Amino acid sequence: MSSKRPHLVRLAVLASGRGSNLQAIIDAIEARRVDATIVAVISNKQDAAALERARKHNLRGIFVDPKLFAGQPDNREAYDRAILAVLQEHDVELVLLAGYMKIVTTVLVNAYTHRMMNIHPSLLPSFPGLDAQKKTIEWGCKVAGCTVHFVTEGVDEGPIILQAAVPILDQDTPETLAARILEQEHKIYPKAVQLFAEGRLQVEGRCVLIKQGMPMGEALISPS
Ligand code: GRF
């Protein structure tokens, strides 16, 4: 049997913070569960733990300083043009936003239509934006979760690729719920990347169809 690997999708991960989703992708690649290679980790924060994680794994970590563009009238687009130049320089095929605390503009969205993913800690379209876990608890929901979706212009609005649901307990705080959701994020983000690598994601309008099907998950009843 040949051990030759299939084409490895060239990934860039954009992250602003601790980078645990980046780590989950790195681990999945190293374990050969995902046919991809990370060619750049890019951050808008010089001290992002994500950049440190990249260095530990000998990945290219790049800080692009937003301050360099602050004076320009279209500074958000100018910033994204600089990011786009890095992506193009490294022939990036798929961009992953992983705790990237900057709204991407049409500069990146148009260049990477259906080739840029984001992970969000709620069952979209409920609770887009910041503090999703806190808002989910405050609303009195019994189920929470996370979503991997393609990135479009609207924040957290793009076609949904995968979701995972978890129960909410009466004693949950935003932190305990976030931890339960994060565990699932680390499972579904690598899975979504592998589906992309296998060419199985087909976008039809708002919907993402998964070619060759997926097994049906179990119903989650909460409280059970
Ligand atoms: C995650 O909860 C993700 O869903 C959200 O930001 C957080 C990033 O966490 N978009 P990490 O930096 O990947 O640990």
Tens of pLDDT, residues 128-184:
999 999 999 999 999 999 999 999 999 999 999 999 999 999 999 999 999 999 999
Q: How far apart are CA 188 and CA 63, in angstroms?
A: 27
Pocket lining: 128 vs ligand 1, CB cutoff 6 Å: no
pLDDT value, residue 3? 65
CB atoms within 10 A of CB 11: 25
1, pLDDT greater than 60:
no
Length of the chain: 224
In the set 7, 57, 90, 120, the catalytic residue is 120
Distance 178 CA to ligand 1 centre (A): 9
Tens of pLDDT, residues 181-202:
999 999 999 999 999 999 999 9
CB atoms within 10 A of CB 77: 16
Distance of CA 96 to the CA centre of its chain: 5
Res. 5 pLDDT band, cuts 50 70 90 = confident
Res. 206 pLDDT band, cuts 50 70 90 = very high
Averaged over 8-24, what is the pLDDT?
A: 98
Amino acid at 211: K
- Token pair, residue 53, equals 């994680």
Distance of CA 80 to the CA centre of its chain: 17
Tens of pLDDT, residues 57-82:
999 999 999 999 999 889 999 999 99
Averaged over 102-112, what is the pLDDT?
A: 98
| pTM exceeds 0.85 for this model | yes
Pocket lining: 120 vs ligand 1, CB cutoff 6 Å: yes
Distance 130 CA to ligand 1 centre (A): 11
pLDDT value, residue 4? 76
Positive or negative: CA dihedral 60, 70, 150, 189: positive
